[in-house]
Structure 1
């Protein structure tokens, strides 16, 4: 008998949510129960999934669906994602790691809760990625890289070997971080930037 997939709710119904939906559908580990967003969006749909509740309903929803992922994007500021993470964890939600089957993730990596690895991203051996990070489409995380919590490595960005990326950092599309660079917490690296030692 085939085991029933667990439900998951998505917290945030904007543009990033559509990408998260696609990865979850491709991964086929969870069934999307619905989306959490602001009151004015209740009843609307994102790629066929209904916005079923607001943040105020999270405790009630937890009783029937203890799995959640933050589907709010992070362009520059991580404040909202941090707030949502704290709220979800205080209630007791499990925040799974979600990995696209189209990504390559070495078995010699550590990826912490709530992080999503998008389509065609590459995470190489010895990398460590913290909690609630976004490793976006075609991002390349090389060997020995350490990425702290609440970072967003945007589309096509390259983080070369043995870099350390501080908590809450945003690395823009197609930026390149040279080998061994340490990026301080809450940094914003603009799209296309080359950062070297």
Structure 2
């Protein structure tokens, strides 16, 4: 089954490694900036740009995966997800063969679970999320759509995370917290309290 990757930066390279390891999809090509047309990313051709999504959906039985990274704002990933959905495209969930997702967990469409990540029983991860390398999502956690759980972060049991939130590398969220939508949690932060929507939390009690 052919898949097209949307976004050709560093995150795309990591996703390519996962797809090659899993063998579930054949990478047909990458959509990137127009200036990169005709070049290659780890041996896969850049076949167009974002504007080509509607045409590619009409012309072929392709699957799509958004491989644009998310550091602060999820806005561009959300826009691309919506374009694909509006034109009838299919976005599968992708799980690395080196990750572990409980059969009692749910992973939404367009979400990727990367090498070494663990999603435990009762957890629910929304659509178009990145669960990055070695991230831990413990039992009964709920993660909204369009979130990025960065490398080696820990989301402890029953935490609720709203959509569009970014959790930095190595951050730890204590159990039973509610983290609102649109939050940014810095790398290495220890989150001991619930956070309202659109909070910026860098740890040490600092939040705004």
Per-residue CA distance 1:72-102 (angstroms, 9 max, x = gap): 0000110000000010111111000000000
Q: Which residue of 1 aligns with 2:164?
A: 168
Q: Which residue of 2 aligns with 1:16?
A: 11
Moved over 2 A (4+): none
**58, 66, 71: which one aligns with 2:67:** 71
Comparing 98-107 with 57-66, greater Cα deviation is found at 57-66
Whole-Å separation in 2 of the counterparts to 1:152 and 1:194 = 17
Give RMSD over aligned pairs: 0.7
Instruction: Name stretches of at least 5 consecutive residues in structure 2 with no aligned partner.
Output: 194-208
Whole-Å separation in 1 of the counterparts to 2:67 and 2:53 = 15
Whole-Å separation in 1 of the counterparts to 2:78 and 2:43 = 27
Whole-Å separation in 2 of the counterparts to 1:23 and 1:181 = 31
| Residues paired across the two proteins, number | 192
**Secondary structure of 2:152 counterpart:** coil
**Secondary structure of 2:47 counterpart:** strand
**Secondary structure of 2:128 counterpart:** coil
Comparing 28-37 with 50-59, greater Cα deviation is found at 50-59
Query: How far does residue 189 in structure 1 lie from its aligned partner after superposition?
Result: 0.2
Matched, 1:102 2:98: yes
Matched, 1:190 2:186: yes
**Secondary structure of 2:133 counterpart:** coil
Q: Which residue of 2 aligns with 1:3?
A: none
Per-residue CA distance 1:43-71 (angstroms, 9 max, x = gap): 11111111111122112212214310000
Instruction: Name stretches of at least 5 consecutive residues in structure 1 with no aligned partner.
Output: 1-5
Per-residue CA distance 1:105-151 (angstroms, 9 max, x = gap): 10000111000000000000000000000000000000000000000
**Secondary structure of 1:8 counterpart:** strand
Q: Please, what TM-score do these two structures have when normalized by structure 2?
A: 0.91
* Structure with higher RCO (Cα < 8 A, 6+ apart): 1
**Secondary structure of 1:94 counterpart:** coil
Matched, 1:133 2:113: no
Q: Please, what TM-score do these two structures have when normalized by structure 1?
A: 0.96
Matched, 1:39 2:34: yes
Q: Which residue of 1 aligns with 2:155?
A: 159
Matched, 1:111 2:80: no
Query: How far does residue 38 in structure 1 lie from its aligned partner after superposition?
Result: 1.2
